Amino acid sequence: MKKQLGVAIHGAGSVARAHVASWQRSPYATIVSVSSQRRESAQRLVDEIALNCTVHTSFDDVLKDERVDIVDLTGPNHVHAEQGIAAAAAGRHLLIEKPMAISVAENRALRDAVALSGVKSVVSFVLRWNPLFQNLKSLLAAQTIGDLIYVEVDYWHGIGPWYSGWDWAHTRKTGGSTMLLGGCHAIDALRWFAGDEVVQVTAFSNNTKGLYEYDANVVAIMKFRNDAIGKSSTLFDCQMPYSFNIDLVGTDGTLRDNRLWSKRLLPNQTDWATLPTIMPDSGDVNHHPFDAEVNHLAECILENRESHCNVADSFHTHELCLAIDQSIARGGQPISLPLA
Ligand SMILES: NC(=O)c1ccc[n+]([C@@H]2O[C@H](COP(=O)([O-])OP(=O)(O)OC[C@H]3O[C@@H](n4cnc5c(N)ncnc54)[C@H](OP(=O)(O)O)[C@@H]3O)[C@@H](O)[C@H]2O)c1
């Protein structure tokens, strides 16, 4: 295995700039190319930071470039699955922005293509590397609050026309839905904390401002295989600072964001214990822990192991988002998972 992995960035917008900065800091990798739909966007990114790399004009050229070990897909939502399938077929490892797919068919096709090719993958549910998330996972693993009986995660983020990707994000064809555009972060967190899969979900929605082609505000309730229950909401029409709420209620205690109540660990506790840490409290991509995410992918490749956040795992996050969308489309009808 080469000492340095070659990275191709494909899609030169806002999140690409954060990925580029993280890859530049990584001890494992070198950016060998940048490309985008339009050559001038890729060239602008390269010039901005005086990056010494090739600017490819087509995705085919990216995949033909033998220096490329990892394709980092940072284009809009509707191109991820198709490009991920092509990259996997060409034997390239994948960092793929969320959502990795915007339909049931795309989700299955990408999962199957990656499984067939054997490439390593990470889907960019970057909050899994947020320090609060990692502390919560560690407390759960230590049975600090016993077994989970209720899991609640909300993503309240007033995404609107100010967003650089607004033109593609607000339509069904290119953005997908509220769940696929932003709610997938909350659903992925819910699954990761629960350590289990949802078997049934019901959802409702509204579209108070009418800015999006799809309903901008969604609430879903769900039942897990192990009998735990859960709730998740995503609100794009909210008027408030970015909020990512986490409530994990167990048989022996509760975690509310960074506050702990644990009969098991702290029998004489009289009030919440607060864990000072870095919270998931900003939607700014420069606040997201992409450094840890890109290094994790590189280590998975170099050590020949699978990521906890690979395409096979993220398939279930997307399937649950798509089930929520199906429930909304059917007026709140319960949907069973796995999808038929
Ligand atoms: N994980 C996270 O926390 C996080 C945060 C933000 C965004 N994201 C995701 O990252 C992706 C990009 O978001 P963004 O905020 O960077 O959006 P953006 O600012 O609109 O950037 C997307 C870029 O993709 C390029 N593009 C368009 N069509 C393309 C194609 N077919 N192939 C390759 N590139 C293409 C566009 O440039 P040209 O058309 O000029 O070439 C555009 O600049 C989205 O899927 C979004 O959901 C994830």
Per-residue pLDDT tens listing for the chain (340 residues): 557 999 999 999 999 999 999 999 999 999 999 999 999 999 999 999 999 999 999 999 999 999 999 999 999 999 999 999 999 999 999 999 999 999 999 999 999 999 999 999 999 999 999 999 999 999 999 999 999 999 999 999 999 999 999 999 999 999 999 999 999 999 999 999 999 999 999 999 999 999 999 999 999 999 999 999 999 999 999 999 999 999 999 999 999 999 999 989 999 999 999 999 999 999 999 999 999 999 999 999 999 999 999 999 999 999 999 999 999 999 999 999 999 9
Relative to the CA of 285, which ligand 1 atom is closest?
5
Whether 95 contacts 297, CB under 8 Å: yes
Whether 5-127+290-307 shares its CATH topology with 130-282+318-336 is answered no
From the CA of 169, how far away is ligand 1's center (Å)? 9
**Which whole-number Å values give the CA distances from 51 to 11, 20, 24, 42, in the listed order?**
15, 9, 9, 11
Q: Are 257 and 139 in contact (CB under 8 A)?
A: no
**Would you list the domain boundaries of the chain?**
5-127+290-307, 130-282+318-336
Say how many Å lie between the CA of residue 14 and the centre of ligand 1.
Answer: 7
Of the residues 14, 56, 159, 321, which should be mutated to test ligand 1's pocket, given the most ligand atoms within 8 Å of the CB? 14
As a CATH number, domain 5-127+290-307 is: 3.40.50.720
Pocket test of ligand 1: the residue of 22, 36, 100, 309 to mutate, having most ligand atoms within 8 Å of its CB, is 36
Ligand 1 first shell, C-beta below 6 A: 10-16, 36-38, 41, 74-77, 79, 97-98, 124, 126, 164-165, 285, 288
Q: For ligand 1, what atom is nearest to the CA of residue 166?
A: 20
Of 124, 61, 52, 129, the residue nearest 94 (C-alpha): 124
Contacts of residue 30, Cβ cutoff 8 Å, sequence gap at least 6: 4, 5, 6, 7, 23
CA distance 130 to 270: 28
Residue nearest to atom 32 of ligand 1 (CA): 37
Q: Is 83 helix (H, G, I), strand (E, B) or coil?
A: helix
Nearest atom of ligand 1 to the alpha carbon of 39: 41
- Which atom of ligand 1 lies closest to the CA of 167? 20
SS3 content of the chain, % helix, strand, coil (to 5): 35, 25, 40
Ligand 1 centroid–CA 338 distance in Å is 29
Closest CA to 110 of 139, 77, 134, 135: 77
Residue 3: predicted pLDDT? 73
Tell me how far the alpha carbon of residue 227 lies from the centroid of ligand 1, in angstroms. Answer: 38
CATH assignment of 130-282+318-336, given 3.40.190.290, 2.40.290.10, 1.50.10.20, 3.30.360.10?
Answer: 3.30.360.10
Query: CB-based contacts of 69: which residues, under 8 Å, 6+ apart?
Result: 2, 5, 6, 7, 92, 93, 301
Q: How far, in Å, from the CA of 333 to the mean position of ligand 1?
A: 33
By CB atoms closer than 10 A (0-12, 13-18, 19+), residue 67 is middle
Distance CA 295, CA 334 (A): 39
| Residue nearest atom 39 in ligand 1 by C-alpha distance | 37
Atom of ligand 1 nearest to the CA of 127: 3
* Smallest CA separation from ligand 1 atom 34, residue: 11
Hey, how many other C-beta atoms are within 10 angstroms of the C-beta on 62? 24
The enclosing H or E element of 233 equals: strand 229-235
Ligand 1 atom nearest to 83, measured from its CA = 32
- Chain length of the chain: 340
* Closest C-alpha to ligand 1, atom 28: 37
Q: Which two tokens stand for residue 13?
A: 């917008």
Does this model's pTM top 0.85? My answer is yes
